[in-house]
Amino acid sequence: MIQKYTFAVFTLFLLALPCVAQKKSWPVRLLNKMFNDTIVDGKPKWIAYPTLAYSPETSWEIGLSSVVVYNAKEDTNNRLSEISGFTFFTLAGQYGVNFEHAIYTDQDKWFFLGKLKSQSYPLLYYGIGNNIVGEELAIAHANVNAIRERILRKIKGHWYLGAELDFQRLTKVDFEWMDGYENTPVPNGGNGYSNLGLGIGLVYDTRHNVLNVREGALMEIGYLVYSSAWGSTNNLGTLFIDSRLFKEVNEHRVWAGQIIGQFSQGDVPFNQLSMIGGEMMMRGFYLGKFRDKNMLGAQLEHRWLPFKFSKRIGASVFGSIGYVSPNLKIDKMLWSVGGGVRVLLFPNRDIFSRLDVGVNPYGYGFYIFVGQAF
Mean pLDDT, the chain, rounded, equals: 90
Predicted TM-score (pTM) of the model is 0.87
pLDDT digits (tens, 9 = 90+) for 206-217: 999 999 999 999
pLDDT of residue 4: 58
Using alpha carbons, select from 323, 320, 305, 318 the residue that is nearest to residue 357. Answer: 318
How many Cβ atoms are within 10 Å of 56's Cβ, its own excluded?
Answer: 11
CB 341 within 8 A of CB 322: no
CB 372 within 8 A of CB 213: yes
Using alpha carbons, select from 214, 212, 217, 218 the residue that is nearest to residue 253. Answer: 214
CB 87 within 8 A of CB 97: yes
pLDDT of residue 36: 55
pLDDT digits (tens, 9 = 90+) for 8-55: 444 554 445 544 444 556 555 555 555 555 445 668 888 888 888 877
DSSP code per residue over 233-273? SS-EEEEEEEEEEEEEEETTEEEEEEEEEEEEEES--GGGS
Residue 240, classified by CB atoms within 10 Å of its CB into exposed (0-12), middle (13-18) or buried (19+), is buried
Cβ neighbors of 247 (< 8 A, separation 6 or more) are: 215, 254, 255, 256
Q: Using only C-alpha atoms, what is the Rg of the chain? A: 21
Q: What is the CATH number of the domain that holds 92?
A: 2.40.160.50
pLDDT digits (tens, 9 = 90+) for 235-281: 999 999 999 999 999 999 999 999 999 999 999 999 999 999 999 99
Q: How far apart are CA 141 and CA 131, in angstroms?
A: 24
CA distances from residue 188 to 155, 179, 194, 268, 273 in whole angstroms, order as listed: 40, 21, 13, 7, 10
DSSP code per residue over 69-92? EEEGGG-TTSPEEEEEEEEEEETT
CB 334 within 8 A of CB 322: yes
How many structural domains are present in the chain? 1
Range of the domain at 314: 5-370
CB 173 within 8 A of CB 140: yes
CB 123 within 8 A of CB 277: no
pLDDT of residue 151: 98
What DSSP state is assigned to residue 326? S
3-state secondary structure of 27: helix
Q: How far apart are CA 327 and CA 293, in angstroms?
A: 7
Q: Count how many Cα atoms sit within 13 Å of the Cα of residue 115 in the half-sphere of its side chain.
A: 11
Q: How far apart are CA 316 and CA 318, in angstroms?
A: 7
Element (H, E) at 49: strand 45-55
Mean of the pLDDT values across residues 116-137? 92
pLDDT of residue 172: 96
Element (H, E) at 157: none
In this structure, what are the phi and psi dihedrals at residue 336, rounded to the nearest 5 degrees? -150, 150
pLDDT of residue 47: 87
Is the bond preceding residue 306 a cis peptide, omega within 30 degrees?
A: yes
Element (H, E) at 29: helix 26-35
Using alpha carbons, select from 347, 344, 257, 336 the residue that is nearest to residue 302. Answer: 257
pLDDT digits (tens, 9 = 90+) for 74-88: 998 999 999 999 999
Q: Is 50 left (phi over 0), alpha (psi -120 to 50) or beta?
A: beta
pLDDT digits (tens, 9 = 90+) for 277-324: 999 999 999 999 999 999 999 999 999 999 999 999 999 999 999 999
How many Cβ atoms are within 10 Å of 359's Cβ, its own excluded?
Answer: 16
pLDDT of residue 29: 58
pLDDT of residue 26: 56
Q: How far apart are CA 337 and CA 234, in angstroms?
A: 36
Beta bridge partners of residue 171, listed in sequence order: 143
